[in-house]
């Protein structure tokens, strides 16, 4: 049982799961600063180039929910290992690509593998750590990978592209993926799952996968007819879940106040914070004139502060003040940072760095608190699908935030005809920061109204097969 895991072995299992999760998360951004080099080498059109980024997001976001459910049914370790193997193989294919079409397909397959691997990780962690204090600490480690992954990806992408070539933004996954696979086989033992006979809602899986994929594409590419179609498919999925004998996403989960509230807050929070990273990368290059490598280095303080907060003291203050209070305080710090950026100067150290540090501190405590709230009252049998759900809402938030902020910034810049182009760009980016703050303010308001001051004690679940360290089943 999870309670009997030796601390050292359980810690190693956590490290393996989080390292794999970090690799998957940073891959969503690592190619961002390499896109100009990829375009020049493979001859992408400007419209086609966006698919290097979008293909990954579409596959990843669309398959998270079914991946989480598969973990509940056939075993989370099995799904994790299969997804990690597929992701690593697709990374090799992407690095070797000499054709634009091959690279886009490799990115799509990477997204599939990433969804399978990452959807079950949070469910595995909460099962391995049933003790509240230990679980909070473990979720803090996992949350660091989620919060800092995109920034680390920008740093790594800039360094690898400038020092070697864009191909290495894919090759870097190979040693990490292989090492994680070998270690996971040794330190994470199989869990049985409830079995496919418990039922996999195939129609529901097709509906939600199509809805999320189409929705992510529609938001990323601003195709509003596709967004309407995605909404219809999503409504059909909800109807199906209400009627299915073995639903893919049991609607009873949304009767748990913390689950429903945390997932909506996650959409708003990620929309503001991931959109902010996209805008800031452009601000640093187009307004401050930094190259790819220095743009990545400029983000370095963010993951460092997130690491100090999420790994150093987030669990302690969450235990002391409760996850709701810590979440709201952390989001408040992020809002202050974004508001400061709306008046950013042309100096990185005076105008950009202080808000980045403030936002890193806020994110470092807010994200672990929100992850804990999202999983606190979930029955063990539904941990996989709940983990997949919170990851899905992150992807929806990322797509919404990036699309909205990019459109706001571009519209503002275009409206300033006759103004110095650099100043017009800066004005657009500053307005986008204000919109980011609006997303976070909505998240704070909703969190204050919906989330409980203290999560209610979880009722003892029926005995379920648990993820265990090898030899400790």
Mean pLDDT of 413-425: 85
Report in angstroms the alpha-carbon separations of 443 from 32, 145, 213, 447. Answer: 27, 21, 24, 6
> 315-354: string of b/e by CB count within 10 Å (b at 16+)?
bebbeeebbbbbbbbbbebbbbbbbbbbebeeebeebbee
Q: Do residues 285 and 293 touch, judged by C-beta distance below 8 A? A: no
Whole-number average pLDDT of the chain: 81
Give me the residue label for tokens 């195709």: 223
Structure tokens at 14: 């956590």
Mean pLDDT of 140-168: 80
Backbone φ/ψ region at 471: left (φ over 0), alpha (ψ -120 to 50), beta:
left
Give me the residue label for tokens 């909070």: 136
Q: How far apart are CA 331 and CA 440, in angstroms?
A: 7
pTM of the model: 0.74
Mean pLDDT of 390-403: 79
Q: Do residues 310 and 141 touch, judged by C-beta distance below 8 A? A: yes
Q: Do residues 454 and 178 touch, judged by C-beta distance below 8 A? A: no
- Predicted local distance difference test score (pLDDT) of residue 364: 87
- Predicted local distance difference test score (pLDDT) of residue 460: 39
What are 189's strand-pairing partners?
468
Residue 220: pLDDT band (50, 70, 90) is low
47 or 223, greater pLDDT: 223
Q: Is the pLDDT of residue 113 over 60?
A: yes
Residue 329: pLDDT band (50, 70, 90) is very high
Of the candidates 189, 125, 167, which has an alpha carbon nearest to the alpha carbon of residue 383?
125
Backbone φ/ψ region at 289: left (φ over 0), alpha (ψ -120 to 50), beta:
left
Summarize pLDDT for 4-55 with one digit per residue, the tens: 445 557 888 888 898 888 888 887 778 877 777 888 888 877 666 767 877 8
Q: Do residues 21 and 60 touch, judged by C-beta distance below 8 A? A: no
Q: CB-based burial of residue 130 (10 Å sphere; 0-12 exposed, 13-18 middle, 19+ buried)?
A: middle
Mean pLDDT of 334-357: 89
What are 293's strand-pairing partners?
none
Mean pLDDT of 325-340: 93
> 70-99: string of b/e by CB count within 10 Å (b at 16+)?
bbbbbbbbbbbbbbbbbbbbbbebbbebee
> What is the C-alpha end-to-end distance of the chain, expressed in Å?
6
The HSE-up count of residue 200 (CA atoms within 13 Å, CB side) is 17
Residue 377 has phi, psi (to 5 degrees) of: -110, 15
- Predicted local distance difference test score (pLDDT) of residue 454: 54
3 state DSSP class of 189:
strand
Q: Is the pLDDT of residue 201 over 80?
A: no
Structure tokens at 176: 């990490």
In sequence order, the 6+-apart residues with CB closer than 8 A to the CB of 459 are none
In sequence order, the 6+-apart residues with CB closer than 8 A to the CB of 460 are none
Q: Is the pLDDT of residue 247 over 90?
A: no
- Predicted local distance difference test score (pLDDT) of residue 230: 87
Q: Is the pLDDT of residue 338 over 90?
A: yes
- Predicted local distance difference test score (pLDDT) of residue 349: 86
Q: Is the pLDDT of residue 467 over 50?
A: no
Q: Do residues 84 and 17 touch, judged by C-beta distance below 8 A? A: no
Structure tokens at 190: 């199989």
Give me the residue label for tokens 């609607």: 251
- Specify the DSSP class assigned to residue 468: B
Q: Is the pLDDT of residue 169 over 60?
A: yes
Q: Do residues 334 and 370 touch, judged by C-beta distance below 8 A? A: no
Mean pLDDT of 423-440: 92
Q: How far apart are CA 463 and CA 36, in angstroms?
A: 53
């Amino acid at each position: 049982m999870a309670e009997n895991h030796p601390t050292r072995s359980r810690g190693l299992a956590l490290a393996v799961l989080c390292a794999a999760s970090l690799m998957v998360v940073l891959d969503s951004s690592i190619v961002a600063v390499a896109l100009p080099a990829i375009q020049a080498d493979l001859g992408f059109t400007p419209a086609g180039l966006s698919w290097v980024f979008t293909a990954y997001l579409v596959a990843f976001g669309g398959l998270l929910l079914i991946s989480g459910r598969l973990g509940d049914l056939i075993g989370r370790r099995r799904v994790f290992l299969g997804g990690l193997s597929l992701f690593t193989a697709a990374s090799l294919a992407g690095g070797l690509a000499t054709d634009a079409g091959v690279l886009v397909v490799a990115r799509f397959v990477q997204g599939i593998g990433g969804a399978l691997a990452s959807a079950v990780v949070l469910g595995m962690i909460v099962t391995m750590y049933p003790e509240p204090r230990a679980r909070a600490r473990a979720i803090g480690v996992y949350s660091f990978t989620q919060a800092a992954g995109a920034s680390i990806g920008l740093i790594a992408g800039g360094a690898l592209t400038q020092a070697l070539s864009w191909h290495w933004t894919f090759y870097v996954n190979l040693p990490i993926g292989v090492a994680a696979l070998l270690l996971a086989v040794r330190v994470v033992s199989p869990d049985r799952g409830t079995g496919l006979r418990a039922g996999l809602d195939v129609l529901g899986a097709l509906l939600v996968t199509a809805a999320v994929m189409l929705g992510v594409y529609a938001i990323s590419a601003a195709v509003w007819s596709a967004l309407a179609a995605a909404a219809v498919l999503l409504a059909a999925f909800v109807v199906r879940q209400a009627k299915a004998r073995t639903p893919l996403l049991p609607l009873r989960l949304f009767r748990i106040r913390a689950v429903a509230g945390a997932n909506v807050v996650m959409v708003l929070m990620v929309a503001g914070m991931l959109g902010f990273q996209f805008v800031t990368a452009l601000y640093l290059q187009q307004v401050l004139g930094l190259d790819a490598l220095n743009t990545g280095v400029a983000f370095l303080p963010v993951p460092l502060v997130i690491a100090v907060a999420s790994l150093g003291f987030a669990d302690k203050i969450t235990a002391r003040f409760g996850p709701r209070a810590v979440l709201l305080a952390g989001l408040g710090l992020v809002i202050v940072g974004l508001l400061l950026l709306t008046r950013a100067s042309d100096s990185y150290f005076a105008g950009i760095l202080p808000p980045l540090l403030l936002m890193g501190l806020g994110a470092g405590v807010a994200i672990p608190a929100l992850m804990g709230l999202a999983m606190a009252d979930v029955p063990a049998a539904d941990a996989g699908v709940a983990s997949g759900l919170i990851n899905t809402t992150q992807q929806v938030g990322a797509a919404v935030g990036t699309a909205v902020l990019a459109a706001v910034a571009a519209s503002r810049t275009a409206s300033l005809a006759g103004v110095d182009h650099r100043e017009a760009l800066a004005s657009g980016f500053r307005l986008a920061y204000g919109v980011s703050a609006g997303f976070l303010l909505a998240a704070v308001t909703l969190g204050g109204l919906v989330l409980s001051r203290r999560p209610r004690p979880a009722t003892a679940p029926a005995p379920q097969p648990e993820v265990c360290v090898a030899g400790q089943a």
